[in-house]
Amino acid sequence: MTRLVVFCFVLIGLVAVFNLESFKTIPVNNTRFDIKKAEEAHAAKIAELAEIEKMKLEALKPKVEEEEVVDEGPLVVLDTPQLVSGDKLYAKCMVCHGKRGEGKSSQNAPKIGGQMDWYIEKQLVDMKNKVRVNKVMDPYIKNLSDQDFKDLAAYISKLPWKK
């Protein structure tokens, strides 16, 4: 134990001696301190930091790109009575799912446009029969018939699928 303590003291002494040796080699500068130069350098540094902060804030801002509104005509060609009925029923769905069925993440509404008609119909039937619980959709689908579900599913399946 004594040897370990002696070794530690010798090691600490060597480290201290080497540090003091390097201290002696630091050049001494005897130029006069100029407060004006120091203030100018400080002001330049503050301006540089402000510019960097401004660039950081601009990089973090979400860039809002305005979409060009193009009148494309009807999204779905309403050539059957089923699609006409589905178009009228989908008017209430647009609030959450969007005009093209693209969904809205702010309302947790999934993208349904272009989905298979049998799948949409099954999900609507399951929600109405309480197999799939969705309290947001309940008021919208509780008064719809099976034919309404088929019409709605046919219309939604014809909406353009966008990634």
Domain borders along the chain are 81-158
Q: Say which amino acid occupies 129.
A: N
Residue 118: left if φ>0, alpha if ψ -120 to 50, beta else—which one?
Answer: alpha
What average pLDDT does the structure give for the chain?
84
- In this prediction, residue 162 carries a pLDDT of 67
CATH class of the domain whose range is 81-158: mainly alpha
- In this prediction, residue 19 carries a pLDDT of 83
**Residue 109 corresponds to which tokens in the numbers above?**
């509404």
| Spans of the chain below 70 pLDDT | 65, 67-74, 162-163
Report the C-alpha gap between 148 and 131 in whole angstroms.
Answer: 19
Closest by CA position to 109, among listed 147, 158, 156: 156
Q: Is the pTM of this model over 0.95?
A: no
- In this prediction, residue 73 carries a pLDDT of 55
| pLDDT tens per residue, range 50-73 | 999 999 988 888 777 676 665 555
- In this prediction, residue 67 carries a pLDDT of 66
The single-letter DSSP state of residue 27 is P
